[in-house]
Amino acid sequence: MALEDVCGFKEKLFSTLEDTTTSVHDYCNLEWKGQETSEKIPHHFFMPHFSQTNFSISRTPSPFGPRDRSVTVRRPFPLSHGTTTLGFIFQGGVIAAADTRASAGGLVACPAVHKITPIHSHLVVTSSGSGADCMLWERILIREIRLYQLRHRRRLSIRGTAKLLSFMLHPFKGTNVCVALTLCGWDKEDGGPGCAKNSEDTSCKTDDSPSGVISSATHSLSPNCGPQLIYVCSDGARLQGEVFSVGSGSPYAYSVLDGSLSWDLSKKEAISLAREAVFRATHRDAYSGNNVDLFLVTAQGWSQRRREDLKEEYYRDMERKAQKQQSGTTQVMTCKK
Amino acid sequence: MISAQAFGDPGKMKDYHYTGPVEHRFSPYAYNGGTVLAVAGDDFAIVASDTRLSEGYSIHSRDSPKCYKLTDTTVLGCSGFHGDCLTLTKIIDARLKMYKHSNNKTMTSGAIAAMLSTILYSRRFFPYYVYNIIGGLDEEGKGAVYSFDPVGSYQRDTYKAGGSASAMLQPLLDNQIGFKNMEGVQHVPLTQEKAVQLVKDVFISAAERDVYTGDALRVCIITKEGLKEQTVPLRKD
């Protein structure tokens, strides 16, 4: 599909179809081919159309989204929302973790959704917000990154990917597209000028491949080398950071992470911390639950931990608490008479 | 006549005292009810739907099944707004034909699911009010079920219920097919006969408790030999 676009194959095929009946045109959503010249963004393959919303109001619709709220149609159904996802950077790479529940209103639409999607070998993205929006925008992002790679013979950096995604989402600002993605990845720029931020950090500059350890005292995250964590949202925010948690369960996850997160965690400790954060968030947040997915991104690429049902963890936790109480180390609150 | 107010937030009490004149906007949607169910086995898939078409307190038709045959190995079940169901199935049929003519092969179930997701998302800001479930056989001959939300988010499942009685049927399927919430039970794989019987029982229960489900049940069984259909009567009240 991506290769077809680079070769211009699709344009040639469908240009003949455009000359035929326009009713088939509208029916099968082939309009996107004809709008090639008028749309400023070339990524129109999956783009939803705005022109269909003026069924009753005689207003000229703007090409980039309904400006007036009253033109949009009220939906009679709820969409999937509600989640806990988190990502953080430590010395061993980037961890991305998420729960697996998709809720639509008060109903659990699906108890086993994949909220973490690999984009390429060194980038995974955690999604939260509306399920359909995230799924489709991830698909668009995969396609665009692949096209970039085919056209320019090198892989786009994580920061570049975040910028591209943010610019693609910008026309939909103000509509109810709800997408909040955290890009967790590893950049493999070898030995470029941007690789060393501090003057004392020469090890990164001279090595021809990042060994995964940025050996500077202040662990400065160089702009185009090593682990990256960037948050992109459909409101237009694009933030780089060391720890992010997104979704309705994020306050609970943040509190667990802030308590124990540090740069020097071992791989095992980091995984256990991420799991714990998601577990506590699913316990307290009604819209998060079921299982926890965990991905680790290193210089070698991403690896996935087996999906774990948190029901077992909850029972183990209850047992631990019961044992603690039995051994009498905790003082239960006394009632004042 | 159903107004847009009928589709208010779930759980909110509607006020019935006079609050002054309220402007009712024309709603392009209507809700026609109906339930769809799909189950995937090792070498078969079942798609079943009731055949009642209702709107508000009226029944428009007792013989309007919601399973649509797409190819020899794929059946689509759609419930929700009947007008959008009809248009969506027409669009899918046209796209299937186009694919067949361009690529000289029939679309596989997975490809149809991906295509349906993009068709639904192309109407992100004026969605098709349809809950879709695709049942069929994948390239290896195993059963596959793909369930969608109205704007195109989809997932491959083993079983899924959609439509008006979905919230009642899904927990029952979780228990009987997924063996969830049962301790110390042997997980036996589902045979075709047991699956068909389960589907019939489950719809009979749905017809008891959901007013929009009833009249008759249409079951489509997809195996590598082809498609078989059965019709079973349900409660007509």
Query: Residue B183's domain is classified under what CATH number?
Result: 3.60.20.10
> What are the residue numbers of the active site of A?
83
**SS3 state of residue A5:** helix
- Classify residue B24: in a domain, yes or no: no
Pairing of strands A301-309, B45-50: unpaired
CB distance A132–B31 less than 8 Å? no
Percent of chain B past pLDDT 90, that is, above it, reads 80
CB distance A113–B150 less than 8 Å? no
- Classify residue B14: in a domain, yes or no: no
| pLDDT digits 0-9 by tens, B11-41 | 566 666 677 777 888 889 999 999 999 999 9
- Classify residue B27: in a domain, yes or no: no
For A6, phi and psi rounded to 5 degrees? -60, -40
| Rounded mean pLDDT, A100-123 | 88
| pLDDT digits 0-9 by tens, A10-52 | 444 444 444 444 444 343 443 334 333 333 444 444 455 544 3
Closest approach of chain A CAs to the CA of B229, in angstroms? 28
- Classify residue B18: in a domain, yes or no: no
- DSSP-derived secondary structure for A272-298: HHHHHHHHHHHHH-TT--SEEEEEEEE
Alpha-carbon span B192 to B42, nearest angstrom? 9
Residues of B in Cβ contact (< 8 Å) with A132: 117, 120-121, 124, 149, 151-153
CB distance B90–A27 less than 8 Å? yes
| Nearest Cα residue to B213 out of B28, B64, B7, B69 | B64
Which residue on chain A is closest to B94 by alpha carbon? A28
* Whether the Cβ atoms of residue A114 and residue A121 lie closer than 8 Å to each other: no
| Nearest Cα residue to A310 out of A287, A293, A286 | A293
Percent of chain A past pLDDT 70, that is, above it, reads 63
| Nearest Cα residue to A121 out of A212, A185, A209 | A185
Which residue on chain B is closest to A309 by alpha carbon? B180
- Classify residue B181: in a domain, yes or no: yes
| CB count in 10 Å sphere of residue A196 | 20
CB distance A110–B155 less than 8 Å? yes
CB distance B149–A66 less than 8 Å? no
Q: Which of A49, A62, A75 should we substitute to test contact with B (largest number of B Cβ atoms within 10 Å)? A: A75
| Domain count of the fold of chain B | 1
For A253, phi and psi rounded to 5 degrees? -65, -40
Between A47 and B83, name the one with better pLDDT.
Answer: B83
**SS3 state of residue A269:** helix
Closest approach of chain A CAs to the CA of B173, in angstroms? 13
* Whether the Cβ atoms of residue A289 and residue A101 lie closer than 8 Å to each other: yes
Closest approach of chain A CAs to the CA of B138, in angstroms? 20
Q: What is the dihedral of CA A282, A267, A229, A256, to 10 degrees?
A: 30
Which residue on chain B is closest to A103 by alpha carbon? B149
- Classify residue B168: in a domain, yes or no: yes
pLDDT for B184 beyond 90:
no
pLDDT of residue A266: 93
For A229, phi and psi rounded to 5 degrees? -140, 115
Note the pTM of the prediction, 2 decimals.
Answer: 0.75
Q: Structural domain of residue B44, as residue ranges?
A: 35-234
pLDDT for A135 beyond 60:
yes
Residues of A in Cβ contact (< 8 Å) with B122: 29, 46-49
For A72, phi and psi rounded to 5 degrees? -70, 150
- Classify residue B17: in a domain, yes or no: no
Q: Which residue carries 């997980």 as its tokens? A: B187
**What token pair was written down for A34?**
């004809």
Q: Which of B26, B95, B124 should we substitute to test contact with A (largest number of A Cβ atoms within 10 Å)? A: B124
A8: exposed, middle or buried (Cβ count in 10 Å: 0-12, 13-18, 19+): exposed
* Whether the Cβ atoms of residue A33 and residue A14 lie closer than 8 Å to each other: yes
- Classify residue B131: in a domain, yes or no: yes
Alpha-carbon span B144 to B122, nearest angstrom? 24
**What token pair was written down for B106?**
């029939």
For B75, phi and psi rounded to 5 degrees? -125, 140
CB distance A104–B149 less than 8 Å? yes
CB distance A132–B98 less than 8 Å? no
- Smallest Cβ distance to B31: which of A53, A76, A177? A76
